[in-house]
């Protein structure tokens, strides 16, 4: 399948690439296996493109390295969020249970010095479970929302969705998209470069 | 689609057992899993179980309304058994949920790839079980209109919850658990919702799945952060799940009551929760794979693995039951000893017997491969466990029956409202579960593709050039082994 002859794909891509006034978003090449996309990713990266991406139905092991993607700083950010939850846990319990301290938030709120079961005002051990849970809660919620934020999701519109072929990016096809904003992008050269990677099809994407 | 079923329960360390049977390309995997959602009509059994579940869920609603209108006196709770069915049901349901997190988080950290076939619906089960669990303390507070007192919300009375109480720890633990489980589940669902969106055959489906898939387009730059986030969530959910049931056990263990005030409670509760939860996963998986033809994904090997975990955790639970008795005797504490003798031979001896035989004896069948891989036997055993784990909590809670003051000793009897509420909670659980099966991808499509041998980006070359010789080598190795 990966050795699909260019003659089979040529008529399709020929019609897709005809001149249109709509600005060009980029050029997309379709592959049919993890090995093929891996090979293509290595070559596109080696060719020095910057604004490009691959789309796969599942995370292909090692593809991010092949593309030269730097490790995300997400874990670092999540650590600080967890730390924040830890401090919030302490602050919440000390304020509400240990001191009658008055705080002006949107409304005045008053702490309360709970004396219960003969435990000290600052009952560290008794506060541990809530501190722990809040640490986890802040880290996990932050982790998910930061991941989405850094991925710029939700993004319900994207030029790739205009392609009918792209519907299989969540099924069994693998795509390389080189964007027109890449400094190296030249429509004809980039297209023939993508064709040299032996794809199943090549298609232009309108913005 | 071929229907050849390969036995993948073999134990041959030289060969990796296939996790997906009868599929050699990704497209057919997508089609087969999506068929659960895309078939024009679900199987008849779905309608039947949905009908029954809806009726039972309605019963739950009615019982809750009746309770609100009348008061907690409609239950069998009484002095000294102030906590009757509501806490039993709460602990039972929250425990069920733990298997889902174990599968999705702990097995993920241990790189147990077989989890991918069952993690999605085990996680769904977690969420629905926690919903059922949270219902019980929620309706047990008596004055439900002030249920917000559970949370530290600034109010005109300058009144705060008491953070030195395990009951409040529970509020935080269960809420965190629910939130994190929901996020974990949703993050896993995003790529699969995108698959359903791209395959949608009408506008409504495309929009509905489209909104919730957030415009996922499988970008590797996204996958990179996504996988990292998923790993972090697994690493966070693992200590969380252990803490949640430990905190649930603190509800008992932090009190000063004989039979409850023991240090074995947290690990024993966690093992019991995983035990009961896995039993529920198998209970649901066996009919689901049958009805929707998912036997190529939820294979016999998956069921066998789960049965092994049930055997392990069941044995841990059995150890805990025994050790509790030993310590009660060894401690020399008179009241502790009485509480345990009373559990086993007192007025609720039959509950103790059900608990012990269902939880400790029944799973011992799983020592034998023949029983581990037999659908009728495993279905029988896991249902024993479901019953046994409910009775375990019943037995623990009923330690209250005979407290320090003999004049207040009584025999706890549940009322019909207690029983109907318990039954109704199963209705709520099953309703949510059946809706999930029909409308959301029941198996993690993206994840299961990644565990297929075809997903290895380096396998391709071997496939083209070296496939034949390698196959021969494997065959000859097998031959040697067979002869030696």
pLDDT single digits (tens) B86-114: 999 999 999 998 888 888 898 899 888 88
CA B158 → CA A97, A127, B161, B482, distances in Å?
Answer: 12, 20, 10, 77
Q: Name the nearest CA neighbour of A50 among A175, A160, A183.
A: A183
Angle at B18 between CA B471 and CA B229, to 5 degrees: 125
Look at B219 and A141 and tell me if their CB atoms are within 8 Å.
Answer: no
Evaluate the CA torsion angle B64, B66, B68, B73 in order and state its sign. Answer: negative
User: In which residue are the tokens 């034949």 written?
Assistant: B468
Q: Considering only alpha carbons, which residue of chain B is nearest residue A119?
A: B164
Cα angle B413, B272, B266 (rounded to 5 degrees) comes to 95
Q: Chain A: residue nearest B181 by CA? A: A140
Q: Which of residues 11-40 of B touch A (CB under 8 A)?
A: 25-27, 30
Per-residue confidence (pLDDT) for residue B465, from 0 to 100: 41
Average pLDDT over chain B reads 88
What pLDDT is recorded for position A21?
Answer: 64
Contact B215 A155 (CB under 8 A): yes
Characterize B165-196 residue by residue with b for buried, 16 or more Cβ atoms within 10 angstroms of its Cβ, and e for exposed: bbebbbbbbbbbbbbbbbbbbebbbbbbbbbb
B-contacting residues in A 76-105 (Cβ below 8 Å): 78, 92-93, 96-97, 105
Q: Answer yes or no: are the C-beta atoms of A24 and A187 closer than 8 Å.
A: yes
Q: Which tokens in the block code for residue B267? A: 């690990």
Q: Which residue of B has its CA nearest to A165?
A: B198
pLDDT (0 to 100) of residue B371? 93
Is A10 at the interface with chain B, CB within 8 A? no
- Test A136 with B449 for CB contact under 8 angstroms: no
d(CA B237, CA B198): 31
By CA distance, what is B195's nearest residue in A? A170
The band of B3, judged by pLDDT with boundaries at 50, 70 and 90, is: low
pLDDT at B386: 95
Predicted local distance difference test score (pLDDT) of residue A17: 55
Report d(CA B74, CA B86) in Å as an integer.
12
Cα B421 from chain centroid (whole Å): 20
Residues 6+ apart with CB under 8 A from B434: B46, B49, B50, B53
Q: Check whether B363 has a pLDDT greater than 50.
A: yes
| Site from B26, B163, B182, B448 to mutate, A interface, most A CB atoms within 10 angstroms | B163
pLDDT at B360: 94
Measured distance CA(A64)–CA(A66) in Å, rounded: 5
> B460 and A36 in contact by Cβ < 8 A?
yes
Tokens 């269960």 identify what position?
B174
Are A151 and B180 inside 8 Å of each other by CB? no
pLDDT digits (tens, 9 = 90+) for B205-254: 999 999 999 999 999 999 999 999 999 999 999 999 999 999 999 999 99
pLDDT score recorded for residue B99: 83
Is the CB of residue B376 less than 8 Å away from at least one CB of chain A?
A: no
Question: Is B152 close to A96, i.e. CB distance below 8 A?
Answer: yes
Long-range pairs for B257-262: beta carbons < 8 A, 24 or more residues apart:
B257/B339, B257/B399, B257/B400, B257/B403, B258/B333, B258/B335, B258/B336, B258/B338, B258/B339, B258/B399, B259/B328, B259/B336, B259/B339, B259/B340, B259/B343, B259/B396, B259/B399, B260/B396, B260/B399, B262/B324, B262/B327
CA dihedral A46, A47, A53, A54 (to 10 degrees): -60
Run means of pLDDT, 10 residues per run, chain A, 207 residues: 42 50 88 93 93 94 92 94 96 90 80 85 92 96 95 92 91 93 92 93 90
Exposure of B409 in the CB half-sphere (CA atoms within 13 A): 12
Contact B198 A111 (CB under 8 A): no
CA A24 to chain centroid: 24
d(CA A128, CA A134): 10
Q: Under an 8 A CB cutoff, do A172 and B26 touch?
A: yes
Decide if B191 and A170 are in contact by the 8 Å CB cutoff. Answer: yes
Q: Smallest Cβ distance to B226: which of A55, A147, A172? A: A147
Q: Tokens representing B67? A: 């309770």
Task: Say if the Cβ atoms of A55 and B447 lie within 8 Å.
Answer: no
Is residue B15's pLDDT more than 70?
A: yes
B162 exposure class (CB count in 10 Å sphere: 0-12, 13-18, 19+): middle
Interchain CB distance below 8 Å, A53 and B247: no
Our CA-based measurement puts residue A52 at a distance from the nearest CA of chain B, in whole angstroms, of 10
Q: Which residues pair with A30 in a beta bridge?
A: A175, A201
**pTM for the full model?**
0.89
The per-residue pLDDT for B318 is 94
Contacts of B452 in chain A (CB under 8 A): none
Cβ neighbours, 10 Å, residue B356? 20
Q: How many CB pairs under 8 A join A and B?
A: 229
Cβ neighbors of A160 (< 8 A, separation 6 or more) are A28, A55, A166, A169, A175, A177, A205, B217
Tens-digit pLDDT profile for residues B387-441 = 999 999 999 998 888 888 888 888 899 999 999 999 999 999 999 999 999 999 9
B237-to-B100, B232, B233, B429 alpha-carbon distances in Å? 11, 8, 6, 22
Contact A170 B197 (CB under 8 A): yes
Asked if B162 has any chain A CB less than 8 Å from its own CB, the reply is yes
Cis peptide preceding B60, ω within 30 of 0: no
Judging contacts by C-beta atoms under 8 Å, the chain B residues touching residue A157 are 215
Residue B357 has pLDDT above 50, yes or no: yes
Mutation target vs A (from B111, B217, B243; most A CBs, 10 A cutoff): B217
- Burial class of residue A120, CB neighbours in 10 A (0-12, 13-18, 19+): exposed
Q: Which of A198-202, B27-31, B77-81 has the lowest mean pLDDT?
A: B77-81
In degrees and rounded to multiples of 5, residue B437 shows phi and psi of -60, -40
**For testing the chain B interface, which of A45, A127, A153 should be mutated: the one with the most B CBs within 10 Å?**
A153
- Range scoring the smallest mean pLDDT among A94-103, B13-22, B281-290, B391-400: B13-22
Q: Which residues of A touch B222 (CB under 8 A)?
A: 151, 153
B105 part of contact set with chain A, CB < 8 Å: no
Which residue in B167, B191, B224 has the most chain A C-beta atoms within 10 A of its own C-beta, making it the best mutation to test that interface? Answer: B224
Q: Which of A38, A174, A144, A157 is nearest to B225 (CA)?
A: A144
First to last CA, chain A: 30
Considering only CB atoms, A136 lies closest to which of B180, B217, B221, namely B180
Chain A CB contacts of B161 under 8 Å are: 96
Q: Where are the alpha helices (DSSP H) in B296-415?
A: 300-330, 334-345, 349-356, 369-372, 375-397
pLDDT(B373) > 70: yes
CA distance B214 to chain A (A): 4
CB atoms under 10 Å from CB of A47, counted, come to 14
Q: Which of A166-175, A185-194, B151-160, B270-279 has the lowest mean pLDDT?
A: B151-160
Burial A140-166 (b: 16+ CB within 10 A, else e): bbbbbebbbebbebeeeebbbbebebb
Chain A positions touching B162 (Cβ under 8 A) are 97, 114, 116
Residues of A in contact with B221 (CB under 8 A): 53, 64, 67, 69, 151
**pLDDT tops 60 at residue B138:** yes
Report yes or no: B450 at the A interface, CB cutoff 8 Å.
yes
């Amino acid at each position: 399948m990966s050795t699909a002859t260019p003659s089979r794909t040529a008529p399709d891509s020929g019609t897709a690439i005809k001149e249109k006034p709509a600005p060009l978003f980029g050029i997309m090449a379709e592959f049919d296996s993890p090995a093929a996309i891996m090979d293509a990713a290595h070559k596109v990266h080696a060719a020095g493109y910057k604004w490009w991406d691959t789309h796969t139905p599942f995370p292909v092991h090692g593809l991010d390295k092949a593309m030269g993607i730097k490790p995300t700083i997400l874990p670092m950010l999540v650590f600080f969020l967890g730390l924040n939850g830890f401090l919030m846990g302490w602050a919440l319990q000390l304020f509400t249970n240990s001191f009658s301290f008055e705080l002006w938030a949107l409304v005045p709120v008053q702490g309360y010095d709970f004396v219960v079961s003969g435990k000290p005002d600052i009952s560290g051990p008794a506060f541990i479970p809530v501190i722990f849970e809040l640490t986890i809660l802040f880290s996990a919620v932050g982790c998910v929302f930061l991941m989405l934020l850094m991925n710029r999701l939700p993004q319900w519109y994207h030029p790739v969705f205009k392609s009918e072929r792209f519907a299989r990016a969540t099924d069994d096809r693998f795509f390389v998209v080189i964007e027109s904003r890449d400094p190296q992008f030249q429509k004809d050269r980039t297209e023939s470069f993508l064709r040299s990677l032996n794809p199943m099809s090549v298609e232009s994407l309108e913005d | 689609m071929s229907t050849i079923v390969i036995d993948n329960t073999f134990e041959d360390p030289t060969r990796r057992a296939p996790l997906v049977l009868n599929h050699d390309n990704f497209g057919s995997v997508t089609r087969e899993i999506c068929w659960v959602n895309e078939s024009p009509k679900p199987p008849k059994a779905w309608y039947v179980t949905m009908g029954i579940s809806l009726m039972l869920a309605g019963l739950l609603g009615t019982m809750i309304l009746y309770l609100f209108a009348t008061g907690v006196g409609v239950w069998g709770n009484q002095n000294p058994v102030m906590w009757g069915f509501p806490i039993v049901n709460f602990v039972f349901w929250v425990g069920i949920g733990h298997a889902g997190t174990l599968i999705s988080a702990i097995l993920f950290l241990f790189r147990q790839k077989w989890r991918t076939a069952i993690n999605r619906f085990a996680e769904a089960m977690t969420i629905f079980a926690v919903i059922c669990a949270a219902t019980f303390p929620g309706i047990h507070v008596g004055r439900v209109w002030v249920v917000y007192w559970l949370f530290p919300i600034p109010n005109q009375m300058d009144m705060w919850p008491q953070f030195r109480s395990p009951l409040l720890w529970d509020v935080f633990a269960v809420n965190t658990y629910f939130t994190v489980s929901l996020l974990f589940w949703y993050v896993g669902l995003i790529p699969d919702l995108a698959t359903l969106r791209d395959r949608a055959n009408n506008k409504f489906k495309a929009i509905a799945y489209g909104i919730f898939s957030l415009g996922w387009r499988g970008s590797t730059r996204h996958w990179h952060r996504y996988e990292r986030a998923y790993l972090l969530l697994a690493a966070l959910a693992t200590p969380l799940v252990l803490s949640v049931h430990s905190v649930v056990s603190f509800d008992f263990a932090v009190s000063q009551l004989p039979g409850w005030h023991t240090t074995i409670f947290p690990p024993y509760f966690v093992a019991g929760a995983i035990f009961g939860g896995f039993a529920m996963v198998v209970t649901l998986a066996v009919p689901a794979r049958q009805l929707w033809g998912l036997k190529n994904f939820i294979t016999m090997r998956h069921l066998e693995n789960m049965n092994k975990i049930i055997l392990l955790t069941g044995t841990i639970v059995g150890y805990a039951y025994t050790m509790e008795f030993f310590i009660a005797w060894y401690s020399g504490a008179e009241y502790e000893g009485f509480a345990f003798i009373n559990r086993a031979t007192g007025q609720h001896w039959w509950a103790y017997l059900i608990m012990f035989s269902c939880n400790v004896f029944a799973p011992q069948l799983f020592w034998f491969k023949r029983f581990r891989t037999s659908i009728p036997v495993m279905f029988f055993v896991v249902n024993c466990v479901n019953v046994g784990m409910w009775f375990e909590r019943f037995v623990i809670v009923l330690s209250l029956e005979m407290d320090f003051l003999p004049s207040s000793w009584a025999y706890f009897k549940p009322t019909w409202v207690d029983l109907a509420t318990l039954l109704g909670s199963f209705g709520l659980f099953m309703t949510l579960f059946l809706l999930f099966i029909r409308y959301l991808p029941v198996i993690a499509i993206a994840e299961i593709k990644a565990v297929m041998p075809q997903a290895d980006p380096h396998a391709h070359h071997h496939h083209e050039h070296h496939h034949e010789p390698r196959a021969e080598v494997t065959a000859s190795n097998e031959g040697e082994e067979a002869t030696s």
